[in-house]
Every structure is written in C-alpha cells, then in structure tokens.
Amino acid sequence: MSANIPDQTGGPRESISRQPTFIEKHSNTVFGWATYLFAWLTVLLVLYIVCVIGIQAAPAIRDYGWGFITGTTWDVNAHQYGVLPEIWGTMYSSLLALVIGALFGVAVAIFLSEHFLSSFVFSVGKLFGVQFHPLWAKLPDNFERILKNLIELLAAIPSVVYGLWGIFFVIPLIRPVCDWLNSNLGWIPIFNTTLSGPGMLPASIVLAIMILPTVSAISLNALLAVPPKLREASYGLGATQWETILAILVPTASKGIFGAIILAFGRALGETMALAMLVGNANVISWSLFSPANTLAALLANNFPEAGPKEVGVLMFAALILLGITLFVNMVGAFILQKASEPQEGVR
Amino acid sequence: MTDIVTSVPVPSNKISPDITIDVSGLEKSLRRPRTAFNYIMSFLTAAITIIALIPLLSVVLTLVVRGGQRLSISLFTQLPPAAFEHGGGFGNAIVGTLVMVGIAALISVPFGILSAIYLAETAPEAKLSYIVRMCAKVLTGFPSILAGVFAYGTVVLVTGGFSAIAGGIALSILMLPTVILTAEEAIRMVPSKIREAALGMGATQTQTVWMVLLPTAFPGILTGVMLAVARAAGETAPLLFTALFSNYWLISGGRFNLMQPTSSLAVLIYNFSAVPFQNQIELAWAAALILVLIVLTVNLIGQSLSRK
C-alpha cells in the first residue's frame, strides 16, 4: 500500500501543505493572549470605574457618612451637603416617567404586534364593499413596519434635543393646563404649587417620551416571539382577540415586557440632560407635580464644571450613589431578560 | 354592519336528547360584554398609540421648522457669537464633535473587537466570557454622566485641565459595550462551515480570524461601530466637565492642540438653550437639527449595512 503514495518530502508530486512557520505559530499564541488580555481589560475597566469613583468619594464618605443621604441642604459655603432631595427627585421623576412610558410603550407594542391597522382598514373596506387590490393590500402592513422603524430611530435622538424641545414646546403647552389644575384642584397635594417654568411634570413627560421607544421595541420583540400556536389554540377555543392578548400573549411575553420596563427604568434613573434642562434644579422635596426639583444626575451635571476640590469629593459620593442605584436596577433587568430569552417549557 | 347581528341563527341546541349546550355565549354582538370589551380595548389601544406618536412626530417637526430657519453655510464656517452679537455659527463645535468621536472610536473599536474575538472565537464558553458579557451589558446601561465623572477623575484631575482627550475617553466608555456585543454577534453569525473549512485547510486560529472571520463579519461589525458612533455623537453629559466648551477653533496659533477645552454640538445646544438671547436660541435649534441629521444618517447607514 505505502509504495503507491508518493513521497511527501520530495519526488515529482510535491505537496503544497507545510507546517506553520515559526512566526505563524507564535503570532497565533500572541494573538490568543492579546484577545484574552482585552477580555480581562473589559472586566477591569468596569472595576476601575467603580474604584476611581469610590476612591475619590472616600474622604466625603468619611466626613459625611449616612448624613449625606439623609441630609436635605446643599450649601457649598457652609460645607453642608445632603442629597435626599436629589434621591427623591430621581425616584419620583423616574417612576412617574415609567408609569406613563410603560403604559404607552406596551400599548404601542400590542398595536404593532396585532396588526390592528390592517384589520381596521380591511373591516372598513368590507363595510363599504371595497375589494383590495393585491398591490395596495400590503400598504397597512408596510406602514406599520415604517412606524416600527421610526420608533426605533427616535430612540437614537440625543437627549439634549429632547431637552431643548421640552423647554420650548412642552412647558408652554402644559402651562395653562397646570395653572387650571392648580387653581381648581390645588387642595390635592400633587397640584398644590404653580408651574413656574421648569418642574417635575414637564421633566417626567419628556423622560416618558424618551423611554417609550425602549419599552415598545423590546416589548414588541417579546410579543412577536410568542409561538403562533398559542394564539391559534386560544382562537380555536373561542377566545376573542383581547381575551387572547390579555390571557395568553401578554402573560407569555411578560418576562420580556417586564425586563423592558426595568431597563427603561434604569435609563430614566441615569438620564441627565433632559432633566438638567427641565427639572428646575431646586433642592426641594415635594409631592407636587409642578414644583421644581432636582435629580442626582442633574446635580452632577450642574455642579461639576465649577466645583472646588472639596466639592468634587462630595459630588463623587453622589455619583457613587447613582452608580449603585443604576447598577442594581440594570442587573435586575438584564437578569430578567436573560430568563425571558430561555425557551419556555411546554410551548416549544 | 354585517358582523354585529343581534342573534345567532342556531340550527339546533340539542346534540342529543340528554345534553343541551348553551351557544348564546358564542354570539358576537356588541351587547355581549366580551365583544364590547374587545372593541373598547382595540379602540383604546389605537387611541393610545396615536397619542404616543404625536409627541414623537412633534419633536421631528419642531426640529425641522425651527432649525431649518437658520440653516446656512455660515453656520459651518463661523464661531459661536458672544452675548449680544448677531449671526455666527458653530463650525468649531462640529469639528470638536467629530474629533472627540474620532478619538473615542480609535480607543473603543480595537479594544471592543479584540474582546469580541475572545468572546466569539477564542473561548466562547469560558467563565471569563460570561463575566465579560455581563460587564458589557452593565456598561450598556451605564448612566452617561458617570462616564464623564470617571474621565474627570482619571484624565482631567491628572492632566490638570479640560481637554478633547478627556472627552474622547469618556465617550469611548459609552461606545465600548455596543462595539463588543455587536461584534461578538457578527462573528458568531459567520457560518461554522466557513470557519471549519479554514481550520481544516491548516490555517492557524489567528489566520482564520484575520482572513476569514473578520472579513465575513465586517458588515455586522461596522453596523455596531456606526451605532456606537451615532450614540456617542449625541452624548452631552460626559462632555460637560471633561471637554467643557470653547468659543474658538481647535487649531490655535497654527498648532493642533487636543489638550484644551473643546466645543461640541451637544454642549453648545445645552449652553445656548439656557440663555435669554434670541440669536443663541435659534443657533441651538439649528445645531440640534444638524446633530440629529448626523446621528440619524450614521444610524441609518449602519443599519442598512447589516440588512443585506
């Protein structure tokens, strides 16, 4: 047998195969180590960020301790610092924005995933006996696709532009409504101050508009990922469309929708520019929607550029608190989304 | 109104003499709570969707109308005006934004792609890979202002001044997770047959990565880079106290200096939105329109690359 195979090292049929050269072999090792190094660097970067902020904040943590979190005054001259109003403002504005943004975002996701537009157009057409030509029967669906892409594109608009729009469009628009609510329903705590321009409500409205694309895009993906068999089975048992949506589709996609809402919450907590421009930067704790307030991120944005060395340490402490809150919320959101993307039992 | 009938013609309620079925529950009529609920919910959802779309469209419309008024060539060639001046532009801010995003891309793209190669190719199942992926996801939701705080602590305090470099480093932290996660996804999408063929031909892993995987995954990687660039170009918060702002060009005295305060479109919008002068406010709107055009163009180009 072996006599028939031509000699590998010599002879007329010389093979093109060869061992990797010294350089190829070692560059392979080096390259493998380089990717390993950069993978570690990503992890170290995150740790380094936390360390840098933590070390800079250390003197302030030593000086102020828990009093920093429970204090309500921010006075640079008296060296009195407290961020309770900012924590309150961050939570209040984010929750308010989340309630509005989640309601509208999930509704938009259901609207787009259920093809309401085309079914509406077709039922109206049927009512008037209009037959749809195949050429434009696809139009409503195409319109929906454009809508979906448009909403995703709107997530890319920079927050400073939303802030600018809020100052010159939202505030003048809602001011008459707010004045009316304050003068007629002023006894309700959430309406008991006047809107003097920037305030909690315009900030929350703009924030809600900013997180809407996030909520609707991820919820839409979760709704579209529900196996069609489930929907068909539900219709087959005689359920109406909305019974199917509320009892089958939304519960099946609930983890994805919930993850979307948590991630949007994380985004709202860390959002800086729109709030710095719209929230009014006042150290106030108030239930009122029309009162100016402040948030952690807006505090950092406004005070950092002209902060002295002492104040920088204090601001680093505030940054550390913000980091803690957002890290926690984002990890919970990522964990839920991870769970949601695992295949569901029994519906494969 | 054909489908809203008052009663359903039922052939027979009796299947057999013993069993009777009440089929009236299956009636599709607006008088039935089930059906009425269905119509009401559909109507509400449509109404909410329309209400949700109004502000989104209004943002775009306001931008075009108010920003479009001031569009002219001088915007790109002139410097920002002082308080009571007329005219002016923001040429230096456009250059500043491009320079800082460029610095950020120079840092984050090689860094991100090498990490992504580790995640997708060198050791996809290793424990480190899971940790790196988690870190990248954590960085995705990282508040942009904290990137600024970090760059302030590491660059501004160390070098002793606000600079374009500090701004670029802050932006690179925000770009990194997008580059890592999309590049990993793109490399993973390369059919394993292509990979195995290269390895089977005797290529080393490095040769496979450089000559087969990266060229094949290139459109996907570029999409991620474009999305990251689009995000970084619009960021304001990390630049506020790293690059600060400047009313002058980056080139001063014939020298290109990156270690000085640098203006950017986003910070210009923020600064000018808070002043009471009509001229500055108009410029802020024009800058917003140009910024959005840049961001959306980069975004759309990026998305179209991977759609093929």
- The two tokens of residue A173 are 């628009």
Q: Which domains does chain B have, with CATH numbers?
A: 74-307 (1.10.3720.10)
Q: Which residue of A has its CA nearest to B172?
A: A45
Residue carrying the six token digits 């989340």:
A98
In this predicted structure, the answer to whether residue B279 has a pLDDT above a threshold of 50 is: yes
Q: Which among B144, B55, B34 has a CA at the least distance from the CA of A105? A: B55
Of A27-31, A64-68, A228-232, A319-323, the one with minimum mean pLDDT is A64-68
A153 and A291 part of one domain: yes
Number of domains in chain A: 2
Asked whether the beta carbons of residue A164 and residue B284 sit closer than 8 angstroms, the reply is yes
Tell me the CATH number at A121. Answer: 1.10.3720.10
Residue among A116, A209, A267 whose CB faces B56 most closely: A209
A242 and A141 part of one domain: yes
**Percentage of chain A exceeding pLDDT 70:** 94
Is residue A150, in this structure, part of any structural domain at all? yes
Q: Are B92 and B79 in contact (CB under 8 A)?
A: yes
A42 and A142 part of one domain: no
- The two tokens of residue A247 are 């009892």
Q: Which residue of B has its CA nearest to A267?
A: B141
Q: Which among A154, A163, A251 has a CA at the least distance from the CA of A212? A: A154
Query: Mean of the per-residue pLDDT values for chain A?
Result: 86
Read off the pLDDT band of B25 (50, 70, 90): low
Is residue A276, in this structure, part of any structural domain at all? yes
Question: What was the ipTM of the complex prediction?
Answer: 0.86
A58 and A120 part of one domain: no
Q: Which residue of B has its CA nearest to A53?
A: B150
Which residues of chain A does B231 touch, with a Cβ-Cβ cutoff of 8 Å? Answer: 156
A177 and A106 part of one domain: yes
| Mean pLDDT of all residues in B5-15 | 52
A36 and A126 part of one domain: no
Beta bridge partners of A293: A280
A203 and A306 part of one domain: yes
Q: Are A163 and A276 in contact (CB under 8 A)?
A: yes
pLDDT in tens, A138-190: 788 888 888 888 888 888 899 999 999 999 999 999 988 888 888 888 888 88
Contacts of B27 (CB under 8 A, 6+ apart): B7, B8, B35
Per-residue DSSP letter, B65: I
Best residue of B3, B24, B27, B59 to probe chain A, by most A CBs closer than 10 Å: B59
Asked whether the beta carbons of residue B59 and residue A157 sit closer than 8 angstroms, the reply is yes
Q: Which of A31, A64, A97 marks a domain boundary?
A: A64
A188 and A329 part of one domain: yes
- pLDDT for position B1: 41
Say yes or no: A313 contacts chain B, CB-CB below 8 A. Answer: no
Which residues of chain B does A319 touch, with a Cβ-Cβ cutoff of 8 Å? Answer: 145-146, 149
Is residue A10, in this structure, part of any structural domain at all? no
Tell me how far apart the alpha carbons of residues A5 and A142 are, in angstroms, rounded to a whole number. Answer: 63
A190 and A91 part of one domain: yes
Q: What is the domain range of residue A53?
A: 21-64
Q: Which of A64, A92, A119 marks a domain boundary?
A: A64
A45 and A106 part of one domain: no
Is residue A347, in this structure, part of any structural domain at all? no
A129 and A56 part of one domain: no
Q: Are B234 and A157 in contact (CB under 8 A)?
A: yes
Is residue A15, in this structure, part of any structural domain at all? no
Smallest CA–CA separation between A344 and chain B, in Å? 22
Per-residue DSSP letter, B227: H
A208 and A88 part of one domain: yes
Which residues of chain A does B138 touch, with a Cβ-Cβ cutoff of 8 Å? Answer: 46, 327, 330-331, 334
Is residue A173, in this structure, part of any structural domain at all? yes
State how far Cα B171 lies from the chain centre: 13
Best residue of A272, A329, A330, A335 to probe chain B, by most B CBs closer than 10 Å: A272
Measured from the Cβ of residue A211, the count of other Cβ atoms closer than 10 Å reads 27
Smallest CA–CA separation between B237 and chain A, in Å? 6
pLDDT in tens, B130-177: 999 988 988 888 899 999 999 999 998 889 889 999 999 999 999 999
Is residue A203, in this structure, part of any structural domain at all? yes
Q: Which of A32, A64, A96 marks a domain boundary?
A: A64
In this predicted structure, the answer to whether residue B17 has a pLDDT above a threshold of 70 is: no
